[in-house]
Amino acid sequence: MINFPTETQDKLAASPVPVLQGLHDLTPDELLLSQEHYESEVRSYPRRLPVAIAKANGVLVEDSRGQVYLDCLAGAGTLVLGYNHPEINQALIEQLHAGIPYQTLDITTPAKDAFIRELMAFLPQDFAENAKVQFCGPSGADAVEAAIKLAKQTTGRNTIAAFHGAYHGMTNGTMALMGNLGTKARRQGLMADVHFLPFPYDLRCPYGLHGEQGARQGLRYIERMLADDESGVQKPAAIIVEPVQGEGGVIPAPAFWLKELRRITQEHGILLIFDEIQCGIGKTGSHFAFEDSGITPDILCLSKAVGGGLPMSLLVFDKEIDTWRPGEHTGTFRGNQLAMVSGAKAMEIIRRDNLANQAAVTGEYLRRGLEKIAEKTTCIAEVRGKGLMLGVEICDPEGTKNNFGEPQSAPELTVAIQRAALERGLIIEKGGRDGSVLRFLPPIIITFEQIDFALKALEEAIDSLVEPKPVSQPMDSIQQSWREHFIHVGKNGADGFESAMNQSTLALKKLFETTDSPYSGLDPMVLQSQIRRAQLGENPQSLTDVIDETTDLIGKNSIIVQHPHCIAHLHTPPMLPAVAAEAFITALNQSMDSWDQASAATFVEQEVTDWLCKRFGFDEQSDGVFTSGGTQSNLMGLLMARDHIIKQTSGHDVQKDGLPEYADKLRVICSKNSHFTMQKSASLLGLGENAVVCVDTYTDGTISIESAEEAVTSLKAEGLIPFVITGTAGTTDNGSIDDLDDVADLAEKHGLWMHVDAAYGGALILSRHHARLEGIERADSVTVDFHKMFFQPISCGAVLLKDKAHFGYIRHHADYLNREEDVLPNLVDKSIATTRRFDALKVWMTLQNVGPQALGSMVDHLLNQTQQVADLVNQRPDFELLAVPCLSTVLFRYTGSNKGMDLDSLNKQIRLDALVQGRAVVGETVVDGDIALKFTLLNPCLSLNDFEQLLNELETLGGEIAKQSL
């Protein structure tokens, strides 16, 4: 209940919100006409808010007609606890009765001392501990003027840096720091040597990046400007910033941005001034808006709410910069005793009642309400702010964009909404670019019920001026519109599919024909920003437009694996039959778990896995299943091995009963060059990474059988249980292939499960080098990756088992899917995944089109070419070959002619610059402790001339980087 300090119990006392009887009358009454007659044209608020206030209490004001308004302007943030707070009133009355003087210059009084002590308790402790206070004239502008003086005399420098959108006051000095050009258009001779910097403004980012990346780019600009001796900007004495810009449009600076700004200013010896004249004293959900950043300024400017509603301004600054001489900055009314009383009481109440936290809660409530309104209308571009300092940016409801692709501001509509809200009992201010931001700055004592009133008034005001978003269509009409997004059976049912595929094919064809580098060279931050600017899902477009946008944004900025200079990873250019298969796979959308979801697909996958098993030398008892790749295949191989050894050891059923108590004794044997998925799989299987025992290798990178034998023997002697040994057919870096017969002998001798990771080298089974895989037919499980040397699109792999009965370790029957009595095969019986893609079709169509003999010849060519490329590297004096190739990788590094260079850093930079400049995509690894560059040859269509050009490119780049580092 709101109780006004009057004896008359009128309608104001009956409700905590205004009671409306129609729209408020805003025609000028006698008081407003008198003001217009006598007062200068400089008056501003009465033009937009034609209200003659008769009395006020809390968040409500009553005009001279008896109309009541909810005030979300509150003296531009001055009245942080609202109008006529009873405790503040009482404190003032008591002090007046005690004989307190109105003002005392800067002579001290008990009231002044009490204020300072309360202020120090209100400040962050680490700031207050080393702070001095300076009382200035009654306006915030005087505090800023004092801060400028202090900064200049302390540093001996004259330049001041401010920000776009800034507002710091209306004096000669502070107007020079103002962003608004219209306000200072007729002012001449403003303070010189002011430079403006970009403020992080997501909606209208000067770099077109938006979000965090835009803010970081602004920081980079500032830091680069300060470091550039040709920037034309002398080092500033200070940088002044509002942690939340008020008049500039209620734009909060991100906490990380303020933190980085603090770092930059400290590194360059520049004072950092925070202007919290409007955003300070609890309004943003903390005592001060800068607190969330975890930093402190050199100088803090305060006014408005710090006086509890009465005029006061002051500085708080680090005592180390207290360079004032007596009387160097004075002001007759810097000793306003009543403001000190009301200010101290206001801060006491905010601290005592935890009102800053309340402002955070009610502010979030208000923000969410505003966001809901934004969802219903077309004229709100953004809701933003902090705590109870919020802004709503109004834009053209027709969706017009400005020259920068941003929502077009709507200043006339903003004024109209402000007036329509006033007619409905809500006082709000406007500001920002083009005056198109509605600003909410209510007292922090505002209640949820009062916020509901404000939201209702604003929504009704907008609805009176702007058509709401279209109402949803009737269901039958909606369903009809949905049809265009799907493929349908029957005549013309696939016309949309044909059109989309044709457009996509032509777009990709043009992309490949016009691509001249493996990457566009677009800065990664810019790329991320452009993708974010696409505003995912906010403005649905036609599929034609989406395909065009995808081509320009995604396609042109992708890594082009077909390019001769893209040779970094086990990442192959896909073969055409496999790409065609992808269209069948996605359009048919078969799920490879049950036959009734994948009829023909089930038989195709079984046929391909049977063919593979025979190729790898397994008999009729073998079987396999497709996986997402080597990681899943290795996991499945170790899972079967784990459950098998446990069943053999104790008859324990892991699937039903979980791991036995001795599971912590199980050990996996592999070489130090095995893929990291050995450790990853052990972790996922509940054994832990430490269950993987990595043994030494021979100089060629293959597993040392002697070391493996010793490890097995030692583990058994310790009472541990080695249960599986992994052989690798193609290590990731050098392509080393273990002697699989030796591994099989060791496994047989000690009763170990033998798993072979042939993700990289499995394709040798098709080539004339197949003898290098001898012994693989003795393995219990084998990992194969088709998206490596089988030239298939990602993802496509398989795991093969010598004994298909071992799939029983993962079989589980579900009544809805794969019942035990089913006659038709359900491939979910063999997979740890339920839903899977029909990836086997890619291999099927490739074999049908290309054939295994041609595939094997391509593998042979790659292995031969790898040796030739290694020889090319070896012959160049500026390069060093680091290992003899085993499969299709070449490990080397650039050494250059200057032997004093840090080669590790140099080669890292070569790889990075080559990538981001779009010159080449090469790999990076470590060989014997040295950073190495890596070519991975997986494109059989490349010539030696392609590699000559690539080496030339890297050599040139290395020389450029080396020269820059001198």
393 closest CA partner among 214, 250, 536? 250
Report the share of the chain in percent with pLDDT over 90.
Answer: 71
Residue 4: predicted pLDDT: 34
Find the mean pLDDT for residues 764-781.
96
Q: Please name the residue that has the structure tokens 């702010």.
A: 385
Residue 2: predicted pLDDT: 33
What does the pLDDT look like over 515-547, one tens digit per residue?
A: 888 888 888 888 888 888 887 877 788 888 888
CA dihedral 534, 538, 539, 541 (to 10 degrees): 70
What does the pLDDT look like over 296-343, one tens digit per residue?
A: 999 999 999 999 999 999 999 999 999 999 999 998 999 999 999 999
Distances (CA, A) of 747 to 668, 674, 705, 779: 12, 17, 11, 9
pLDDT at residue 125 greater than cutoff 70? yes
Name residue 191's amino acid: M
Mean per-residue pLDDT of the chain? 91
Contact (CB, 8 A) for 335 and 135:
yes
Which tokens hold the place of 690? 């430490």
Contact (CB, 8 A) for 163 and 131:
no
pLDDT at residue 620 greater than cutoff 80? yes
Instruction: Note if the bond before 795 is cis, omega within 30 degrees.
Output: yes
Residue 812: predicted pLDDT: 79
Q: Please name the residue that has the structure tokens 């509603």.
A: 309
What does the pLDDT look like over 706-753, one tens digit per residue?
A: 999 999 999 999 999 999 999 999 998 889 999 999 999 999 999 999
Please state whether beta strands 60-63 and 68-71 pair in parallel, antiparallel, or not at all (unpaired).
antiparallel
> With bands split at pLDDT 50, 70 and 90, how would you rate the model's confidence at 182?
confident
Contact (CB, 8 A) for 147 and 315:
yes
Beta bridge partners of 625: 799
**Helix, strand or coil for residue 815?**
coil
Contact (CB, 8 A) for 165 and 243:
no
- DSSP string over 285-303: SSSSGGGGGT---SEEEE-
pLDDT at residue 13 greater than cutoff 60? no
Contact (CB, 8 A) for 777 and 618:
yes
Name residue 879's amino acid: F
What does the pLDDT look like over 582-601, one tens digit per residue?
A: 999 898 888 888 777 888 88
Which tokens hold the place of 295? 């930093």
Q: How far apart are CA 257 and CA 570, in angstroms?
A: 39
pLDDT at residue 899 greater than cutoff 80? no
Residue 596: predicted pLDDT: 77
